[in-house]
Structure 1
Amino acid sequence: MTTLYIRDVSEDVAETLKERAAAEGKSLSAYVGAELTRIATRPTNAQVVARLRERDRSAGPTADEILEAVRAGRR
């Protein structure tokens, strides 16, 4: 495993992370490691957009149908 050193973390941020780690019964290192893993496994906005662009939308509603549904919801 790689060891990361993070510099210039404000005292407020460090204290918040320590409190959150304690609330979950974890060490600061375990808590931050889990958060970094969560962040790293999420797709980027660009990846989400690319996936959406690749989808076949031929079976979905038309723009006119969507607008009509929105208008109907406002009545």
Structure 2
Amino acid sequence: MPNTPTEDVPGEPRTVMRRRAASAGRSSQEHVVETVGGAGTPSLDEVLDRAGGRTAGDLPLREAVDAVRDDRDRRS
């Protein structure tokens, strides 16, 4: 485990961090490492921003529904 000092975290955030770590049975350092380690996973807002920038397909809804139903029927 890398040494991740937490004593410089100010007041209330530090208290919340310690409480969350304790409730998960981890040290404050372990909690910080796990939290920061998740930074590579996009947040919901980041995913929605990316999705919002995409253009829709040109397949009419009726054709898409029929294709899904046909595929489902073939599998059953």
TM-score, normalising length from structure 1?
0.51
Dislocated runs of 4+, deviation >4 Å = 1-8, 43-48
> Which stretches in structure 1 are left out of the alignment for 5+ residues?
62-75
> Which stretches in structure 2 are left out of the alignment for 5+ residues?
62-76
2:11 corresponding residue in structure 1: 11
1:39 corresponding residue in structure 2: 39
- Determine the C-alpha separation between the residues in 1 that align with 2:6 and 2:28: 13
Identity of matched residues, %: 16
2:57 counterpart of 1:57 = yes
2:23 corresponding residue in structure 1: 23
- Determine the C-alpha separation between the residues in 2 that align with 1:55 and 1:32: 38
Could you say if the C-alpha distance between residues 8 and 30 of structure 1 is closer, same or farther in structure 2, counting changes exceeding 3 Å? closer
- Determine the C-alpha separation between the residues in 1 that align with 2:51 and 2:6: 33
Residue 58 of structure 2 aligns to a residue in which SS?
A: coil
State the one-letter code of the partner of 2:41.
T
- Determine the C-alpha separation between the residues in 1 that align with 2:56 and 2:28: 44
Could you say if the C-alpha distance between residues 57 and 8 of structure 1 is closer, same or farther in structure 2, counting changes exceeding 3 Å? farther
